[in-house]
Structure 1
């Protein structure tokens, strides 16, 4: 049986640091960075590789800053 893994990509320049994505992530993959973007907001970033590709983060993001990818791993 194949395993599906996920990954996220955050548009750091558009992120306004609301942290809704971090709250919505069931696997705790997302956290707010200690760094800030050009607008002065801390941005979301992936902190581990546990993403399952559920897209909860992308759905709740009010600015559409998160792209979710899914990849099928063959056994």
Structure 2
């Protein structure tokens, strides 16, 4: 199995602070027209975990990987 993890979001938990967007080194994330997190470039994700680590609302997380 690949070490790459799956990026998951829970829009209903997102308050639109944009912290995850600011810390994503590959511009994978953006805020949509409702100011909620959206994955705009999933293929560019390097599973670094910065979004998950920085999200104060636990609205974004990585699953899978080296299991």
Counterpart of 2:56 in structure 1 is: 62
Residue 3 of structure 1: how far off its partner (Å): 6.0
- Structure 2 regions of 5+ residues with no counterpart? none
Counterpart of 2:17 in structure 1 is: 18
TM superposition score normalised by structure 2: 0.82
The structure where strand makes up a greater share of residues is 1
**How many residues are paired up?**
65
Secondary structure of the corresponding residue to residue 5 of structure 1: coil
TM superposition score normalised by structure 1: 0.74
Q: Which has the larger radius of gyration?
A: 1
Is structure 2 residue 21 aligned with structure 1 residue 47? no
Residue 67 of structure 1: how far off its partner (Å): 1.3
Deviations 1:12-61, CA, capped at 9 Å, x for gaps = 00100000000010111000011x2xxxxx11111012001111001000
Q: Over the residues paired in the alignment, what is the CA RMSD in angstroms? A: 1.8
- Structure 1 regions of 5+ residues with no counterpart? 37-41
Secondary structure of the corresponding residue to residue 53 of structure 2: helix
List structure 1 runs of 4+ shifted beyond 2 angstroms: 2-7, 69-72
